[in-house]
Amino acid sequence: MAVSRLEGVPGIGVDRMGDAADGAADPDLLRLENLDTDLRPLAAALEATRIAIDDDNANSYLPFPGHERLRHAVASHVGRGVREIDWQHTLITAGGLNGILNVLLATLEPGDEVVLTDPVYAGLLNRVRVAGGVPSLARLEPSAAGWSLDLDSLRAAVSARTRVLLMMSPSMPSGSVLDRPAWDAVTELCLERDLLLVVDTAMERILFDGRLAIDPLALDGMADRTIIVGSASKELRMIGWRVGWVVAPPALVHDIGLVCISNVVCQVGIAQTAVAVALEAGDGDVAAAAAEWERRRDVILAELDGLPVIPPHGGWSMLLDIRSLGHTAEEASERLFRLGRVAATPMTNWGSERAGDYVRFVFANEPCERLRGFGDRVRAALL
């Protein structure tokens, strides 16, 4: 029997689909099940990694909060040239989700509620539960134009037990991007109810159709109650480097740092200078990658024209409503794999029961050329 902290902590499904896809060893199989990408990191970051292998300072536990150059780079990146962020208010973590867990462990009492959007990455839900928190879900509403946050549902998700609003924009798995009214509603709730805002910024610059990022730290009254958690994995395509960061108000830095030391102890030493180099390069590298991912999104949307797919406004993935096609998520995933040679993850447990109406297609790892004909595969498997 599992220990109590693992009650309600299911698997995320991606591992199972990834294992099946690896085991098939079929070059014709479209790998749309996990958040890998074929776009390489910045060349200068790769070279910095190679150099770090021979640097003895990169083979050390110290300093525990992370290398100073990277912490300065994070402070500059999060400040966006608009505000000065004290680099000592930054902490380097072993990936973004390690940062999320550390923040939750440092800010939640057992039984505290955390508001997230629905559908949502199952890994975020599971970290809330492992930290002793209770997820409370606010609906993302689908339409032919994309996803939007139901503001009434957001307000209803907040209770007397709520401690944190955990937002991600663009979010996984939907690609939903919070607009100004949504951020204003988040701000209003945080100020009225004395709540913390934790923002997962792993994909904040991966925006489509000319959308611009909204800076959570610029929201009126939010600088002292907002915790930014970032990652090199998505925007910088440095998945295997396992480097993330936390930028927190001064009053919380010590506690989060204590959890960091008590959890993973330190970050990947040989990766930190490389991530600093990538952050210091500015937005151009990320913008070029985002433009390629937008082209892939557009190919898939054209291929699935006429099917109930919800267009993402950013990020790496999109959802297809397979319940309306007469399948469960598990059935659709199996049929896509067997009949369409498409690896796609069912969204079971990725939020409320309604998340089980969808399968997810990740478009970060397959070039446009291989995505041609994708619609025929989907129709052959599901219609």
For the chain, the domains span 4-41+284-382, 44-280
* pLDDT confidence tier of residue 248, bands split at 50, 70 and 90: very high
Q: Are 303 and 375 in contact (CB under 8 A)?
A: yes
* pLDDT confidence tier of residue 6, bands split at 50, 70 and 90: confident
Q: What is the pLDDT of residue 1?
A: 56
Give burial (CB, 10 Å; 0-12/13-18/19+) of 346: buried
Superfamily (CATH H level) for 4-41+284-382: Aspartate Aminotransferase, domain 1 (3.90.1150.10)
Q: Give the Cα separation of 330 and 383 in Å (integer).
A: 15
What CATH architecture is 44-280? Answer: 3-Layer(aba) Sandwich (3.40)
Count of residues for the chain? 383
Question: Which residues have CB under 8 Å from 82's CB, separation 6+?
Answer: 215, 218
Give the range among 77-91, 298-312, 322-336, 368-382 with minimum mean pLDDT.
77-91
- Does 138 have pLDDT greater than 80? yes
- Does 5 have pLDDT greater than 90? no
167-176 burial code (b ≥16 CB/10 A, e <16):
bbbbbbbbbb
- Does 210 have pLDDT greater than 60? yes
> How confident is the model over 106-136, as pLDDT tens digits?
999 999 999 999 999 999 999 999 999 999 9
> How confident is the model over 59-97, as pLDDT tens digits?
999 999 999 999 999 999 999 877 899 999 999 999 999
Q: What is the mean pLDDT of residues 273-279?
A: 98
Give the global pTM: 0.97
Q: What is the pLDDT of residue 8?
A: 84
